[in-house]
A and B are shown apart, each in its own frame.
Chain A
Amino acid sequence: MAEDHGSIEFEFDGHRVRAESGQSVAGALHAAGEHIVSRSFKYHRPRGLLCMSGRCPNCICTVDGTPNVRICTQAATPGMVVKSQNAWPSVKFDLLRIFDKLHRFMPVGFYYKRMYKPRWMWPVWERVIRRIAGLGTINREHGADGVYDKQNLFTDVAVIGGGVAGLNAALAAAEAGVTVTLIDEQPMLGGHLRHDPDLACHGSVSRAKGEHTADTAVALGATVTPLAVQDINDLIRRVTEHPAITVISSAVVFGCYEGNYLGIQRDKRMIRLRAAQVIVATGCWERPLVFENNDLPGVMLASGVQRLLHLDHCQFPGEAVVVTDNAQGYRVAKQLAAAGTRITAIVDVRDNPPETAEGIRTFRGHTIIAANGSRHVNGAVIAPLTGDPRQTISCRWIVQAIGFTPANSLLYQNGCKLAYDAAVDQAVVTRHSPAMSSAGAVNALHDPRDAAWDGQRAGLAAVEALCPPCLSVSNPSGENALETQRHGGHRDEPAFSCHYVSPSGAKKKFVCLCEDVTEKDICDAIDEGYSNIETLKRYSTVSMGPCQGKMCQAAAIAICARHNGQSITETGVTTARPPEQPLPLGVLAGRALHFSLVRRTPMHAWHEQAGARMGDAGNWKRPQVYSSVTQEYEAVRQRAGLIDVSTLGKIELRGADVVKFLEFIYPNRFANLKVGRVRYGVICDDAGILLDDGTIARLGDDRFFLTTTTGNADAIDSWFRWWLAGRPEWDVRMTNVSGSYAAMNLAGPRSREILKKLTDADLSSEAMPYLAASECTIAGVSAIVLRIGFVGELGYEIHVPSQFGLHVWEAIMEAGREFSIAPFGIEAQRLLRLEKKHLLPGVDTDALSNPLEADLPWIVKLDKEDFIGKESLARAQQRGDRNKLVGFRLSESVVPDLASLVLCDGKLGGRITSVSYSPAAGGTIGLAWVPANLAGNGQTIQIQVNGRMIPAVVQDEPFYDPAGSKLKS
């Protein structure tokens, strides 16, 4: 990471810290002697650096206003402002540390027991808890911190993990001829070898030996020898320079979803990668040991120490004690010694380790019992595994190297089956899900040479699965070989292992660093009955913090198993779910600009310029009102108005069987619809429920032009195609022309005079009577003109090609100027149609409304041969109406809210669906669903308005122009 040795400065909690260019923030703080970087969640204990790999919660800070940033993976930049979190007044001196002394009053699950009575107190507690125990504060002004983005990528083989196994898998697959995407969370490839350069020389940290991997890889056709670990840089170069390999570094795969769909976060971008084959080579992370005060600053994981030493060029002044059960402990001890640290002891859990450390005192068969110190380690208490006798060794650093936990949650997420294998002390895959495999340390192959061969095997197996003819082997996945190799024979599961928890009865032995859950908490929770690992997790909150169990799950399972007297296999694991790593919600959300589609009509700009108040109608923007509803209403009733109805769905049907199709789709008749005529129709589903309404115009013998409502345009298109799909022999050619035509409704007593100025067509009531359909030229543009009147006036619905929509609209407005034409919006239209009792499907009807009850009994022709919903409507007719949609006139001038209730004898009888003050009726009118026995003309219903019952009279006739003379004029 630290390549360039220039120097920069950043700010930590108000004071300046110097960093090498490229050094991590955490590395710079360590070098500057700032060892307390955060406070714990519950007890506000001081916490220092632990893993240095972005896994643990210890170094979470607010960086440049963004909360919860792990500063160990964040490169320091000049002027960066870093603030510690969850401490008051400061991280160095936190008064809330008092909670550490009050721990006896806050046992596991205390908030479930103490804070729910009285009930009204819980919201208060919530605020208090949030303030004290929160994880950073979101700066709302800072919320839009840059641009979040998404990207969709595709690849043949996705390799997750850029360690030795991943690099070899990627190279093997790419050289076999497929495209490979390699994703690694570190800024540079190389995995553990980047910070543990002696790993190759010192051989394996695994407890298994792998002789079979190489054989399997060779059987698969491996032609390249896996690069020896000393050639790691050469391997990285070959991978990065390979034209078929795309490397995405500094990126976290947070989810592996169905169909090998990988969710990847890279900074502020979410990459969605679809891969034909996925190889999980995510390696492993080091696990901490559970002992007293194990969270004290100065207690670190060996790999964390190595990262600070080798990547951030830091030192560890003073003495150190190394606790280990494997070769890594001896390597880190030597590396620390070489960097100037005095190693006062190596404490090895094993009785007879093969490793030795010259000149360093080694305690075999011992473990650590406690860390001494208040704000930083000043000593280590060690003892034999039995727990006694104890001795204290003075030291400033306690380095733990007690093994690894495999990073296998992506395998779990994708449905692979894993089982705990005592021989290697980790869960291993017993069955991979399709098109997924794993390689390297997740397969318990920790030796770089084993991992290299295993990577090759997985890479070639993936290619084999992609293109079987390329290779021919009997066992492409090589899983059986792996199985033998890992075990080297069967071993029983051991009794509880000291590799997880040191033997002592102390209370402050932290298992979960995120949530401050101790070994005692887990045992108490089990004693309270939460003995299942899943319920234990939820009750104790172990593994529910930011690290999501990476540091604590292995120990929690081990403690649970021990306390229940079960084996690790019997105890099981909690379910792994995405996200594997915490990620900002902005990454999931993407760009705010595109949250919702906006659809505009061709006349949209005109409406905006005319000052229309635009409203949403689904995705559409439609003018609600231009001037005022009253003025627009008067214009339509007295002169002329023009409304944009381009949003209507429009379908053109051609073919010899269109009539047959329409007869089948609609409950009313179309065989007798003459050319040049238009008819109203409703569409019902199989249950006779009213879905939509619209007009059907016959433009030729075999040519029809249909409209649907705005909201149902897409649904009706699908509905038609659905029914046509089962009738391929019918000659029905369907074209959705919704977008191809702009549409406008010219309505009002003067509309004929206006239109006459723009066309040569004969518009007289004889030539173009009510319900005529005509194709003519309007303002020089070919148009379909329908003489229909939704608003109850002489009116023309004019459909023109969209590119001429604005041209024709402007021409009509210009021609109508001498008649004081006005544009009108949806609000006026709703009132105008209500006066005619014209219903709106979906507004006046719902999922229980059929046309018989919705005041349209005349439209249902049960004597037709067959149509959709006929059976149901026949039964409904036989049964008789239960409810009816009726018009009503309110006795008072108040306007009730929509959905106000209709009460009958004090009981719920129905509801209002449309209501408005009507100038024509001189009072409040509306449509309502009422019981059939109250639906007769002149009957009185009671409507609840603001708790008061107001009588209303049912009216059969429209409230305006009941004879329809204006409409037909």
Chain B
Amino acid sequence: MTVTTIARGPLLERHRQLGATVETLDGWQVAVRYPPQPDRTGTALVDLSQVPTFEINGPKTGAALTSMCGAEVPLRKIHSADGRHVYRLTPSRAIVFGNVSPSADAIDVTGGWASLALIGPDAERILNKVTAVDLRERTLPVQACCQGPIFGVNTLFGRLADRFELHVCSDSAEFFWEVLMDAGQEFGLQPAGIEHEMCATAVSAVR
């Protein structure tokens, strides 16, 4: 039986309501651009929920990550290579955003996570409004990750060189989006599609 399947992220309906251009990429309906698409100097929120996501857990997590990344991934660090970001949360748990080889003992949890990129000069200030987690670069340096709540939503924070990545359970994604957009209003936060130029690396993981 051949059926064309359609994958939808938890924020798709929201993107449509906000007038985003939605296109089908690799079976996913994705908001590719927003009118007007914010430029790279502004602060933007991009939905990356379509990025394949895997969980690796258990006592052999460290070894599995070393084999996948070619180097040890320290605790609360992000290893970025080959279009994927590996978040080491605990000694026995890691989340991989991006594709993994089928041989890896990883569980596909793509649908369970909503991933957002918060890009721009005011990203940290916006997050300061909604979370008590210390996100200063001194505490959360580039390529580091941590977990904490935002209005009751357990959030996985990652700081990359050019953006924050925020990962939450997909069932809370719409609420989370509302919270961030509301907090970002005073900083001119705008939603953006994955064509936002700062998302190139994240998008390459999808394509």
Contact = CB atoms under 8 A, between A and B. Distances in A.
A665 B128 CA distance: 41
B190 interface: no
Interface stretch (B37-45, B68-76, B80-88, B168-176): B168-176
Contacts of A807: 5-8
Given A741-B111, A807-B6, A602 B170 contact: yes
Interface string A577-612: 000000000000001011011111110110000000
A600 B109 contact: no
A45 interface: no
A154 interface: yes
Interface string B150-182: 011100000000000000011111110011001
B108 to A, nearest CB: 7
Contacts of B2: 780
Given A739-B111, A780-B3, A602 B179 contact: no
A654 to B, nearest CB: 8
Contacts of B172: 597-599
Contact of A759 (B1, B28, B59, B170): B1
B113 interface: yes
Interface string B107-122: 1111111000000000
B57 A734 contact: yes
B152 A739 contact: no
A517 B4 CA distance: 80
Nearest to B133: A152
Given A619-B152, A739-B112, A758 B182 contact: no
Contacts of A734: 57
B182 A591 contact: yes
A155 to B, nearest CB: 9
B7 A740 contact: no
Interface residues of A, number: 52
Nearest to B134: A154
Contacts of A599: 169, 171-172, 175
Interface stretch (A235-243, A797-805, A896-904): A797-805
A308 B112 CA distance: 62
Nearest to B185: A147
A731 B6 CA distance: 36
B48 to A, nearest CB: 13
A478 B82 CA distance: 57
A601 B112 CA distance: 11
B151 A802 contact: no
B179 A594 contact: yes
Interface in A783-813: 801-807, 811
Nearest to B3: A780
Contact of B9 (A758, A803, A811): A803
A601 B8 contact: no
Contact of A740 (B110, B151, B178): B110
A224 interface: no
A602 B128 CA distance: 29
B13 A605 contact: yes
A758 B2 CA distance: 10
Contacts of B58: 654-655, 731, 733
A467 interface: no
B63 interface: no
Given A597-B175, A602-B10, A803 B152 contact: no
B107 A779 contact: no
A149 B151 CA distance: 13
Given A149-B129, A600-B171, A804 B1 contact: no
Contacts of B4: 780
A803 B171 contact: no
Contacts of A741: 111-112
B151 A152 contact: no
Contacts of A593: 178-179, 182
Interface string B38-62: 0000000000001000010111000
B104 interface: no
A780 B9 CA distance: 18
A534 interface: no
A597 B129 contact: no
A153 interface: yes
A807 B28 CA distance: 11
A718 to B, nearest CB: 12
Interface residues of B, number: 47
Given A153-B128, A780-B3, A802 B10 contact: yes
Main secondary structure of the interface of A (DSSP, over half): mixed
B197 to A, nearest CB: 26
B111 A801 contact: yes
A418 interface: no
B57 A801 contact: no
B132 interface: yes
Contact of A780 (B5, B8, B130, B151): B5
Contacts of A871: none
B201 interface: no
A234 B175 CA distance: 48
Contacts of A654: 58
Contact of A760 (B1, B134, B182): B1
Contact of B5 (A605, A738, A742, A804): A804
B131 interface: yes
Given A738-B112, A739-B113, A741-B111, A728 B59 contact: yes
Contacts of B5: 779-781, 804, 807
B40 to A, nearest CB: 25
A13 interface: no
Nearest to B169: A739
A604 B13 CA distance: 10
Given A600-B174, A803-B7, A803-B28, A740 B111 contact: yes
A596 B109 contact: no
Interface in B1-36: 1-10, 13, 28
A521 to B, nearest CB: 44
Nearest to B112: A740
A97 interface: no
Contacts of A272: 132
Nearest to A740: B112
Interface string A144-170: 000001111110000000000000000
B3 A811 contact: yes
Contacts of A737: 107, 109, 112
A758 B3 CA distance: 9
A188 B199 CA distance: 43
Interface in A534-556: none
B128 A803 contact: no
Interface in A640-693: 646, 652, 654-655
A605 B12 CA distance: 10
Contacts of A805: 111
Given A652-B107, A802-B170, A807-B6, A151 B129 contact: yes
Nearest to B173: A600
B157 to A, nearest CB: 13
Which of B3, B55, B153 has the most chain A CB within a 10 Å cutoff?
A: B3
A593 B183 CA distance: 11
A366 interface: no
Interface in A126-152: 149-152
Interface string A755-781: 000111000000000000000010111
Contact of B134 (A274, A779, A801, A803): A274
11 contacts: A149-B183, A152-B129, A153-B128, A593-B182, A600-B173, A739-B112, A740-B108, A740-B109, A801-B110, A803-B7, A803-B110
Given A738-B169, A781-B5, A802-B112, 7 more contacts: A150-B129, A597-B152, A739-B111, A739-B169, A758-B3, A780-B4, A807-B8
Interface of A: 149-154, 272, 274, 591, 593-594, 596-602, 604-605, 619-620, 646, 652, 654-655, 728, 731, 733-735, 737-742, 758-760, 777, 779-781, 801-807, 811
State the 8 A-B residue pairs at the shortest beta-carbon distance, nearest first. Answer: A802-B111, A740-B112, A780-B3, A733-B58, A739-B112, A803-B7, A597-B152, A599-B171
